Structure 1
Amino acid sequence: SLPLGKIFNLCLIPISWIDGEHQWGMSLFAPGTDFKSTVDSIRYLRDCTGEDGELIKQFMTFHIFFHEDHIPVSILRADEVLKESFKCPEIPPYASAKEENMFKNLKHLTYPINVGRNVARDAAITHFVFPSDIELYPSLNCVPMFLEMIARNEGPLLNKKPRVFPLPVFEVKETARVPDNKTELLQMLRTEDAILFHKNICANCHSVPERSKWEKTPQKERMEISVVGKREGSFQHWEPIFIGTNREPYYEERLTWEGKRDKMTQGYQLCVKDYEFHVLSDAFLVHRPGIKLMAAARRPEHEQTTNSLIDKKISRELRILFGYKKGCVI
């Protein structure tokens, strides 16, 4: 999910990821006047990017959402939009849209990232779903390798406990190339061109169980389960990004990207329900190049609002609805 200002990230995704076999769904936050720019950007990607656009037409769906207080003046149905002719501009609409002039920023709106995640999940037509963020790039071939592993149905997959499949997450230097596979990633970790995601902000939020073992294990020809962990103990604040199904708890839609902790409430539910976390051996995510420092991540006003909402309201609701289990925290 993403706001208009991030849609250019779609063009940074290697088109080989849209491989002609697997469906991609993208939810876009487009309140007020951002709606038209968003629709024009989608049209540009579909109609003005040659062969890449043809793949996007066949294998990618777009789902636009906005708050009821900021409904666009005019909303055409999808079939009406696609019937209209579109003249390809020299500059893509998303490139010419200035951040400071976007409706979201002019109105000082927060980004309801969890609404976007849930919208994309609901729109999925596959059994397995992989809710992620547009600035997190998956390793190549992770989906077919994962499905091949599921088809083998061996080892930890034979138990009947509820489970999800987390991917380790990393970030790379701004000048670095995003690694395609684990071999390239491990080399970049050795040279410190890559580090654990948010290592400088909240290392415990994104470190997987037995991470050192994962980072010492070379790339294999086929996907396996590296380790089975739980969201408890030293991982009680873990915010995993995982492959799962629509049976898993939804993301809490009152939380925002700016306020952080947006996956913590889901993590609590998974912990209380005794979910296992089957960490994948040869799949990972890498954030768009650039290592974030603590100073750049601080948003005190929004963080205070989120902390108050979780601590005074949401945590009580979750305990009433799902109960309490020792070691499970929000």
Structure 2
Amino acid sequence: MAKILPFCALFLVTLIVIYLWNVSNSINYELEAKEETLLLSDYERSQRGDPSNFSQILQQVKHITGCLDRPMEPKIQQRGDYWVLYNYIVAQKRFKCHESVTITTLGDFTFLDNILPMVERWKGPISVALHAPGTDFNAALDAIKHLRCHSALVREFVTFHIFFPSGHMPPKNLKTYDFEDDHECPETLLLPNSTYKSAHQLVFPINLARNIAREMAQTHFIFPLDIELYPSPYLIPKFLKMIAQNGPWATPRVYPLAVFEIETGQKIPDNKTQVQAMLAKNLAVPFHHNICAQCHDIPKALKWQKTAETPGLRVFYSAKRKGEYVHWEPFYITTHQEPLYDERFTWEGQKDKLVQGFVLCILDYDFMILDNAFLVHKPGIKVKTMDERRQAMTDLTDMSIKTEIMPQLEILFGRRGGCEV
């Protein structure tokens, strides 16, 4: 009996410690959640131009980055064999360099339906580069007019740049709109069933589009995304708060996010907890799970998926693009200081992001994977298909990388063990 009493006392103390630890964690979580709610309400007020405590975070971001404001002026410029109409249709809101994060994205008029879910979740600046050769130009303007007519968020936040090959100019009588006139907005939008691009078998210069959208972004931090990727809500204020609390930093870095695909017909998840529930029911999978899992799985992906959601934004893991992840093609928040994309690559030839990843590896970048934030592809889980034309162009891309691009990169940036394209 005497031996049992100390054991019972120890057991009781252990239970009390566990209980107090759980209570403490619960209180901390509730405090963090309350603080996050205040942050988001401050951010919403700042977007409306009202005074808020969020301005203190922005001032700290400005101090840390030392960034300079960037103008938003329309201009026409030639880029190689392409004409570019920069800031052709501009957003109503303007941002100083430290005040937000800009999504930079790209496509043609057939992809513009993705702008609405993107801007509704982002509620911040978006810079879009649209490829519009020949008669696709007028179709692009029709689609933009429709979006701006029916969405105040598009009018406020989305700026469009249009580009086309010099050998495929728009029609002589270009359709023009007064984009500030929101009258006569049709409920339906009639667009061509096919594109000028496909009829003339043109390629899509995807990296040129990425660079056009990026160069016009007003903010220091930018988020290059494919147009069918939608971010988790309120990422901007959470990210800027994290930067304000943790900067400045001595090493070069970018901030990747986990990316997922969901089944057709499913509601796009709003938070990590919802993502985890969908993964458990096989309603969601990691991006390109059936096509090239190693290209997009973040390091420690399973741990990320099992780690409980917490308020705010944190760095989940710091990784290098080496070893098992030597061919990783992450989507990440970055800045204007990072290298531009190699404009020799096309969407049809694939592998368009690999070279930039290789350069960041050579420059010894840290990839600071974010927790509690993610991207979701437009609903519909992809499966691998065979396209003979794309495969032929991919073979040409592989040859170009081996014989031309890699030797040039070694001269420009040198070598680093473990870095590969």
Code of the residue aligned with 1:287 in structure 2: it is: H
Structure 1-normalised TM-score?
Answer: 0.90
Matched, 1:56 2:146: no
Structure 2 residue runs of 5 or longer lacking an equivalent are 1-105
Aligned to 2:301: 211
Aligned length: 315
How many Å separate the matches in 2 of 1:222 and 1:85? 38
Aligned to 2:3: none
Q: Secondary structure at the match of 2:179?
A: helix
Worse-superposed segment, 222-231 or 194-203? 194-203
How many Å separate the matches in 2 of 1:329 and 1:201? 20
How many Å separate the matches in 1 of 2:362 and 2:344? 21
Mapping 1:140-219, distance limit 5 Å:
140-153=233-246, 159-219=249-309
1:16 CA displacement: 3.3
CA change 1:297–1:290 in 2 (3 A) is farther
Aligned to 1:264: 354
Residues 29-57 of structure 1 deviation map (CA, whole Å, 9 limit, x = unaligned): 1111101110121111112x1xx2x2222
Q: Secondary structure at the match of 1:234?
A: helix
Code of the residue aligned with 1:7 in structure 2: it is: L
Matched, 1:274 2:364: yes
Residues 45-73 of structure 1 deviation map (CA, whole Å, 9 limit, x = unaligned): 112x1xx2x22222111111112222213
Code of the residue aligned with 1:248 in structure 2: it is: E
Structure 2-normalised TM-score?
Answer: 0.71
1:241 CA displacement: 0.6
Structure 1 residue runs of 5 or longer lacking an equivalent are none
Q: Secondary structure at the match of 2:167?
A: helix
1:81 CA displacement: 4.7
Residues 107-166 of structure 1 deviation map (CA, whole Å, 9 limit, x = unaligned): 11121111111111101000100010110011111121111111111xxx5641000000
Aligned to 2:391: 300
| Structure label with greater radius of gyration | 2
How many Å separate the matches in 1 of 2:344 and 2:304? 34
Aligned to 2:121: 17
Mapping 1:233-244, distance limit 5 Å:
233-244=323-334
How many Å separate the matches in 1 of 2:174 and 2:363? 42
Q: Is the 8 A contact 2:205 2:343 kept in 1?
A: yes
1:269 CA displacement: 0.5
Q: Secondary structure at the match of 1:295?
A: coil
Q: Is the 8 A contact 1:3 1:111 kept in 2?
A: no
CA change 1:222–1:29 in 2 (3 A) is same
Aligned to 1:46: 148
Matched, 1:88 2:185: yes
How many Å separate the matches in 2 of 1:296 and 1:7? 26
Q: Is the 8 A contact 1:174 1:290 kept in 2?
A: yes
How many Å separate the matches in 1 of 2:231 and 2:245? 22
Which of 309, 318, 330 is 1:228 aligned to? Answer: 318
